[in-house]
Amino acid sequence: DLFFLVEGTHAMQQDFGRHPSGFMGVMEALRAWARDAPWAASTTDTGYRMGLALYGAPSAASVPANQDIIGNGGNFMNANAQFNEAVSFFENFITSYALNGTTANHLNGGLKAAVNMFNTGSASRKRVLVILGASPFTDGAKSSTAIGPVINELEGMG
């Protein structure tokens, strides 16, 4: 199971080389990579099941449950068409999400979203978390926002 956390801050909407938006460049790369990925239709099949969320604002953003993209919004996607729909959803959502975080870049909510997503999968599947971003994290050391305990929880999941 592969879970992508993509930074959704204002900084990611700036120019990144040839892309007028770093966020759109990352989404383009994910879409291209997923096109050729071996997908797993179920938790027992080999191949990838993928999830995707944004981090940056105090709360992570994942595909809402009322979207028909991936069933209840919390499940891993198991087909390229579903993944493309989720990418498109975030490409349209990025402007409003980036405004929620002002200049902060919170990773804690995204890591918690990864924990929740991995808990919905099978314990026998390998779990991979990929974090794609460009800004330093600003979570701080308060117990409610510290990222260390959440990273420890993720590492304990295998």
Query: What is the radius of gyration, based on Cα positions, of the chain?
Result: 15
Q: What are the distances in angstroms from CA 41 to CA 82, 85, 147?
A: 12, 17, 32
Task: Look at residue 72 in the predicted model and tell me its pLDDT.
Answer: 38
How far apart CA 81 and CA 71 sit, in angstroms, is 13
Task: Look at residue 101 in the predicted model and tell me its pLDDT.
Answer: 55
How far apart CA 81 and CA 9 sit, in angstroms, is 26
Task: Look at residue 131 in the predicted model and tell me its pLDDT.
Answer: 94
CB 53 within 8 A of CB 83: no
Task: Look at residue 129 in the predicted model and tell me its pLDDT.
Answer: 93
Task: Look at residue 100 in the predicted model and tell me its pLDDT.
Answer: 65
What's the predicted TM-score (pTM) here? 0.86
Helical segments of the chain, H only: 22-35, 80-100, 108-119, 148-156
Q: What pairs with residue 6 in β-bridges? A: 54, 132
Task: Look at residue 155 in the predicted model and tell me its pLDDT.
Answer: 92
Residue type at position 44: T
Tens place of pLDDT per residue across the chain (158 aa): 899 999 888 888 888 788 788 888 999 999 999 999 999 887 788 898 888 888 887 777 776 554 544 433 456 888 888 888 888 888 888 877 776 656 678 888 889 888 888 888 778 888 999 999 888 888 877 777 788 888 999 999 87
